[in-house]
Structure 1
Amino acid sequence: MKDFWSKLKKFWGNRWVKFSVVSLLYILWFVVWTGNLWLLLGIPVIYDIYISKIMYRLVWSKHKAKKARSRTYKKSMEWVEAIIFATVVATLIRIFFFEMYVIPTSSMEKTLLVGDYLCVSKVAYGPKIPNTPLSFPFVHHTMPFSQTKKSFSTLIQWPYHRLKGWGNVKRGDVVVFNFPAGDTVLLENQSATYYDVLREYQATYGDREGREMLNKQYTVIARPVDKRENYIKRCVGIPGDTIRIINSHLTVNGKPLPEIPKMQYMYFIQTNGTPINKNTFEDMGVAVDDISYNQYTQTYMIPLTAENLDRVRKMRNVTDVEQYIAEEPNPSVFPHDTLYRWNEDNFGPLWIPSKGSSVELNLRTLPFYRTIIETYEGNELDVREGTIYINGRPADRYTFKMDYYFMMGDNRHNSADSRFWGFVPEDHIVGKASFVWLSLDKDKSFPSKIRWSRMFRGIK
């Protein structure tokens, strides 16, 4: 056995063996997997590291000698080298394998809670190559300690390219994606969606005047796909599906979608005048921010799961429970056109585009697909005297270049999702939410704020 390890050590000590193994791994990972032949330029660098050592003689040997002479230089450079190494490794892991994400809102409760820290798998659907490779590490779109200074450069911009993954997005998957309507941002009011604010201005002042006034009052900026806000929702519709919501009940291709066990709807709860104990809400997992109470009518308005709904109905001081169902048309709901009197609880039918499929274009179907044609797939679109023009030519059909998805939150009445801003393009998909590795309750103090029972729990 000792002789075997001695031979193995001698074999691996050969510089040509090291060069061959490292080159093979590099080609499989960075060239074959990414499909980028330009990365073959890295092979001469590997050759120099293990064989020719030109850079070592010109630079690194002097650096090594200086480290030997100066203890201060050695210590400081050890820290620099460690930081650079950690940054490179962490960046590669974040791009190709997985990324951390924290739940900021209650749109996915009770499946996911505010304060859940998730591991998001990039290989589930295949990692996508960054659109803006020149960026400050470990931040998203804004520099640390700043609300406005961008953390990336658009000097180099790469087109959309996704590597091979383990599978495709399926109905029911909990997916992290770049916010489609986040391509344009009001720098001084980033919490508001630009298009929602624009519609309000145009409804008040007219189309042209409203846009001009908005541009005067705010700094309007554009963000590339990979630097838009990250959202997390459940995929309820995949390419080619037709979805419809009737009185808050979702159907896909004419069939009811299986209910998510912890899905929530909003309910009105009438009491006999005696308030519900706050400890009861805490035991049910209802967040303080989600409790709305009208003291004049003794009525609560609270999101409830099916399990919590049964508990509420059995309470002695509860006289009536009624689910909230939106009835009036909501102009904030997609496709934001008076032709369609939809709302969040009565929506559709709506067909979800798939790559290579075609759709008839007319003034009635255009509201559904205008953003896709103009923004997501980069065409010039105009309507003149009732005729639709794409890239200057009359068009009565359009063929889609990408697949699209329809996303909804499990907290149905407290979720800004595809019902409000439409389809999610495939190039916006970031990854699949895999498991919760840490969970902190914002309504409690340390150490009781740690939700131990949720740690390292898979997401369904």
Structure 2
Amino acid sequence: MGALTGVLYGCLVVFLGGWYLGKWPGNFSFLLFILTVVTLVYWLAERFRFAPARQAAARNLEAQDAARRQQLADKGIAKVDGDISSAREALLAQPWWLDWTAGLFPVILVVFLLRSFLFEPFKIPSASMVPTLLIGDLILVNKYHYGIRLPVINKKIIPLNEPQRGDVMVFRYPANPTIDYIKRVVGVPGDEVAYLNQKLYLNGKPVPTQTLPEFYDEDGTQAGDGMRYRAQFSEKLGEKDHRILVDPKRPSYVVPHATFPYKENCRYSAEGITCKVPAGHYFMMGDNRDYSEDSRFWGFVPDENIVGKAFFIWMNFGNFKRFGSFN
């Protein structure tokens, strides 16, 4: 069993190393599920087989020692050398391969349950949600807000709240569900969403906006052209305002992917795009409007791709002031 455990750990190290280096894609939810199952098997084996066997061996040692002492006592020898306590502890000691499997099961199980049903951490990898979320922000996502879903397969079993316009939502990228994206919900089922000449319209009406002081891009990450100020606005989707960035130098037209489900619901022109959101789907956009590849390019997000509602920044190692709720 020790050799088998060593092989399993070796496979895990190789997989994680290749995943980190980008040699192959990875699914952390599925990996955590596998680790939970494997450590559960070891935990059950330890509780019902290996631990009882070690305890039986220790009892047998104690019985043999007691029998030997009784035999010597029958011969009149009262003082007997030899202490079996160290040998008994050695027999009861858990081997390393159980300590690193069965011993980790409770911790892995708790992480799996918390991550699957309550909260999941994510790291912001791009500038598509600036100024709301910056590159390097570590955020928490509420996994149960939109309903309880089965781990790994993401099947909703208990519906709760529906996504609302203005929510910041994490979802599985429709073109490649192994990748998680984060954008803002702009259109819900039945809405007509238009983004024309860099202005957002919902059901034929312009979304209310107000001009804000320019946003200073300290890292120059928005457009990759160094430090500069960018036009910033307050936009009202739903009940709360949020900030967006617009670059007037960028063209209004969109070059969509060759095909995506319900593409026939969208009309493209030199001014931008107009889409009718189908049932069970959502139209997503980044707050950094001219530097976000979102539903304008690859279409709608189906309900089964929803991961959860993002709501809290808990750390950014490049900016320790980045902490707190952003909704």
Q: TM-score, with normalisation over the residues of structure 2?
A: 0.62
CA 1:415–1:65 in 2, change beyond 3 Å: closer, same or farther?
farther
Q: Is the Cα contact below 8 Å between 2:173 and 2:180 reproduced in 1? A: yes
Q: Matched residues in 2 for 1:171 and 1:352: separation?
A: 12
Residue 82 of structure 1 deviates from its aligned partner by 3.1
In the other structure, the counterpart of 2:272 is: 346
Which structure 1 segments of 5+ residues have no match? 1-54, 133-159, 183-224, 265-280, 295-299, 308-320, 355-402, 442-450
In the other structure, the counterpart of 1:243 is: 193
Q: Matched residues in 2 for 1:248 and 1:260: separation?
A: 14
CA 1:262–1:174 in 2, change beyond 3 Å: closer, same or farther?
farther
1:304 to 222, 231, 256: 231
In the other structure, the counterpart of 2:325 is: 458
Q: Matched residues in 2 for 1:96 and 1:261: separation?
A: 39
Q: Secondary structure at the match of 1:436?
A: strand
* Alignment deviations for residues 194-215 of structure 1 (CA, whole Å, 9 cap, x no partner): xxxxxxxxxxxxxxxxxxxxxx
In the other structure, the counterpart of 1:172 is: 166
Q: Matched residues in 2 for 1:129 and 1:164: separation?
A: 10
Deviates more, 1:252-261 or 1:405-414: 252-261
In the other structure, the counterpart of 1:290 is: 222
Q: Matched residues in 2 for 1:262 and 1:164: separation?
A: 41
In the other structure, the counterpart of 2:155 is: 161
Q: Is the Cα contact below 8 Å between 1:126 and 1:162 reproduced in 2? A: yes
CA 1:56–1:107 in 2, change beyond 3 Å: closer, same or farther?
closer
2:110 to 75, 79, 89: 89
Q: TM-score, with normalisation over the residues of structure 1?
A: 0.45
* Alignment deviations for residues 26-62 of structure 1 (CA, whole Å, 9 cap, x no partner): xxxxxxxxxxxxxxxxxxxxxxxxxxxxx96655422
Q: Which amino acid aligns with 1:287?
A: D
CA 1:113–1:334 in 2, change beyond 3 Å: closer, same or farther?
farther
CA 1:113–1:63 in 2, change beyond 3 Å: closer, same or farther?
farther
The within-5 A match list for 1:370-449 is: 403-441=280-318
1:62 to 53, 57, 63: 53
Q: Matched residues in 1 for 2:210 and 2:111: separation?
A: 35
Residue 163 of structure 1 deviates from its aligned partner by 3.1
Q: Is the Cα contact below 8 Å between 1:243 and 1:250 reproduced in 2? A: yes
Residue 252 of structure 1 deviates from its aligned partner by 1.0
Q: Percent identity between the aligned chains?
A: 32
Higher-Rg structure is: 2
Q: Is the Cα contact below 8 Å between 2:230 and 2:247 reproduced in 1? A: no
Q: Which amino acid aligns with 2:320?
A: W
* Alignment deviations for residues 160-213 of structure 1 (CA, whole Å, 9 cap, x no partner): 62132541111100000000011xxxxxxxxxxxxxxxxxxxxxxxxxxxxxxx
Residue 102 of structure 1 deviates from its aligned partner by 0.3
The within-5 A match list for 1:7-406 is: 60-65=51-56, 69-70=89-90, 73-74=93-94, 76=96, 77-131=98-152, 161-164=155-158, 166-182=160-176, 225=177, 228-259=178-209, 284-290=216-222, 303-306=230-233, 323-327=248-252, 330=255, 332=257, 340-342=267-269, 346-348=272-274, 350-354=275-279, 403-406=280-283
Residue 304 of structure 1 deviates from its aligned partner by 3.4
Which structure 2 segments of 5+ residues have no match? 1-45, 59-87, 235-245
Q: Which amino acid aligns with 2:53?
A: K
Q: Matched residues in 2 for 1:328 and 1:435: separation?
A: 33
Q: Matched residues in 1 for 2:254 and 2:307: separation?
A: 32
- Paired residues, number: 239
Q: Is the Cα contact below 8 Å between 1:262 and 1:410 reproduced in 2? A: no
Q: Which amino acid aligns with 2:128?
A: S
Q: Secondary structure at the match of 1:432?
A: strand
Q: Which amino acid aligns with 1:250?
A: L
